[in-house]
């Protein structure tokens, strides 16, 4: 079956612009996670959803970052007023439930010029 | 709070020789521990996991890891390295009983010499 997919695979934007990153989880997976991986680092947790609600958003760095999952499937990570420091690979993962194995997507590479 | 320390940023071994990637963890609760592998331009893949059952865990591609509570370690080993093992490896912790996101180490880059 299909794995986790993320679009776009690459996004280049200018400082101050707004971007949206999309994640399509594995069908039937109720839990969805966002991570950010900066160059040379391990992924860092941002937020996770159980169904439609954000169960833990403690990893979001500031209020420019926001994520939604309105129908409990696809999720969108939104970044306002992008800064050069936001440049990273944004990873999405899904799992059958909150204790199950997390399956990762290929990531979206965001570059802020 | 939980954290992971991968003791080596780079490890280089010759093909056919053993691999050892070191990891120490810190967790307030009984943790679940994982090793993930990331090949260039590919997604993260789970190698193996420890969730309070047997302390010696076997994973895919001949890898295994041993959970040592007294040493707070979860080192990854493989008896004989293959060229295809060259990749970035991440040790990961998740607090026991929690449904939190994963906490990753900084990664160890494994280089296989021919």
Tokens coding A96: 């059958």
pLDDT band at B97 (very low <50, low <70, confident <90, very high): low
Range picked from A35-39, B27-31, B50-54, B95-99 for highest mean pLDDT: A35-39
Instruction: Give the other-Cβ count within 10 Å of B67's Cβ.
Output: 20
Tokens coding B80: 């004989």
Q: Reduce the secondary structure of chain B to three states and give it as a string.
A: CEEEEECCCEEEEECCCCEEECEEEEECCCCEEEEEEECCCCCEEEEEEECCCCCEEECHHHCEEEEEHHHCEEEEEECCCCHHHCEEEEEEEECCCCCCCCEECCCEEEEEEC
pLDDT, one tens digit per residue, over A30-64 is: 999 999 999 989 999 999 999 999 888 989 999 99
Instruction: Report pLDDT for A97.
Output: 85
Decide if A91 and B44 are in contact by the 8 Å CB cutoff.
yes
Cα–Cα distance for residue pair B34/B46, rounded to 1 Å? 7
Least confident of A26-30, A71-75, B27-31, B42-46: B27-31
Q: How far is CA A20 from the centre of its chain?
A: 10
Chain B residues whose CB is inside 8 A of the A4 CB are 43
Q: What is the DSSP letter of A4?
A: -
Chain B (50-89) residues lying within 8 Å, Cβ to Cβ, of chain A: none
Least Cα separation, residue A48 to chain B (angstroms): 7
Q: 3-state DSSP call for residue A84?
A: helix
pLDDT band at B105 (very low <50, low <70, confident <90, very high): very high
Instruction: Report pLDDT for B101.
Output: 81
A9-19 average pLDDT score: 97
Cα–Cα distance for residue pair A39/A42, rounded to 1 Å? 8
Nearest to A43 among B45, B49, B104 (CB): B104
């Amino acid at each position: 079956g299909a794995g986790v997919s993320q679009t776009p695979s690459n996004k280049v934007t200018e400082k101050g612009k707004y971007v949206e990153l999309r994640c399509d989880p594995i069908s039937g997976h109720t839990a969805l996670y966002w991570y950010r991986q900066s160059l040379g680092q391990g992924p860092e947790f941002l937020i996770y959803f159980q169904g439609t609600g954000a169960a833990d958003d403690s990893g979001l760095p500031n209020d420019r970052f926001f994520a939604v999952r309105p129908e409990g499937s696809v999720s969108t990570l939104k970044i306002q007023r992008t800064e050069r420091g936001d440049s990273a690979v944004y990873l999405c993962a899904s799992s059958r439930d909150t204790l199950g194995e997390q399956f990762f997507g290929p990531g979206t590479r965001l570059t802020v010029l | 709070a939980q954290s992971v320390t991968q003791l080596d940023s780079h490890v280089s071994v010759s093909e056919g020789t053993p691999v050892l990637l070191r990891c120490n963890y810190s967790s307030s609760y009984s943790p679940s521990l994982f090793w993930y592998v990331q090949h260039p331009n590919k997604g993260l893949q789970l190698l193996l996991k420890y969730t309070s059952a047997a302390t010696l865990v076997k994973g895919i591609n001949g890898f295994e890891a041993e959970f040592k509570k007294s040493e707070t370690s979860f080192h990854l080993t493989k008896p004989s390295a293959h060229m295809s093992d060259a990749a970035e490896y991440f040790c990961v912790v998740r607090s026991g009983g929690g449904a939190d996101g994963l906490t990753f180490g900084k990664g160890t880059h494994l280089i296989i010499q021919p």
